[in-house]
């Protein structure tokens, strides 16, 4: 009986402690024949990542989105895939944190490190051709590109929990305006 209680407590703790970063919701807007998707995020980083950025290491993030139609008992039908590469860096002379969308070239600068992570979602925007019906779903996630780190850092951060800032896949059904 005691093992059963312990198992339930450990299970509950593992679910509550999993993933500090997550997608809150997707804002999906339809314009003509296109749907535009932007995420609302809850995103925080560890002191190890802040220290690396403050010491001149450029952190690469990848935002992935997929528009798909689910198929029962089979693989989903992919309608569209997109990927956005983001780079976070710190400029010591200006004391400025900069996040840059490497796909579009747009960038935002912040004096405050915490404000950077509250606002960087403004650079994430996906455009897809609007699906013909309401069966389509969109999924999105954000990941740290550990391969984009300097070679000497790649192995030590591979399984380090302080560098695990990836979000889980977030799914939302696309409602088209007909």
Residue 67 and residue 174 in contact, taking contact as beta carbons nearer than 8 Å: yes
Query: Is a pLDDT exceeding 70 seen at residue 4?
Result: no
Residue 122: which of 32, 13, 67, 41 has the closest Cα? 41
SS3 state of residue 1 = coil
Of 121, 173, 128, 123, nearest to 30 by C-alpha is 128
- pTM check: above 0.75: yes
- Residue range 21-30, pLDDT digits in tens: 899 999 999 9
DSSP state of 131: P
40 vs 25: CA distance, rounded Å: 5
Listed range (3-12, 53-62, 114-123, 128-137) with the worst mean pLDDT: 3-12
Mean pLDDT computed over 138-145:
95
pLDDT band at 62 (very low <50, low <70, confident <90, very high): very high
Pairing of strands 59-69, 22-31: unpaired
Count of residues in the chain: 178
pLDDT beyond 90 at 15: no
Return d(Cα 37, Cα 4) in angstroms, integer: 44
Is the pLDDT at 85 greater than 60? The verdict is yes
C-alpha to C-alpha distances, 17 to 10, 40, 43, 50, 74, nearest whole angstrom? 10, 21, 15, 21, 32
What is the CB neighbour count within 10 angstroms for residue 137? Answer: 17
């Amino acid at each position: 009986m005691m093992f059963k209680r312990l198992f339930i407590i450990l299970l509950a703790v593992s679910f509550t402690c999993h993933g500090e970063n997550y997608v809150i919701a997707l804002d999906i807007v339809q314009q003509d024949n296109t749907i535009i998707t932007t995420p609302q995020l809850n995103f925080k980083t560890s002191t190890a990542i802040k220290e690396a950025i403050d010491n001149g290491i450029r952190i690469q993030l990848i935002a992935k989105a997929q528009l798909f139609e689910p198929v029962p008992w089979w693989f989903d039908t992919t309608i569209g895939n997109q990927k956005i590469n983001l780079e976070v860096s710190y400029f010591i002379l200006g004391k400025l944190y900069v996040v840059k969308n490497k796909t579009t070239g747009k960038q935002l600068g912040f004096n405050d490190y915490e404000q950077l992570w509250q606002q960087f979602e403004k650079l994430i925007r996906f455009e897809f051709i609007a699906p013909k019906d309401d069966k389509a779903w969109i999924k999105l996630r954000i990941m740290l590109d550990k391969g984009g780190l300097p070679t000497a850092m790649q192995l030590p951060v591979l399984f380090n929990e302080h560098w695990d800032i990836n979000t889980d896949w977030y799914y939302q059904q696309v409602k088209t305006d007909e």
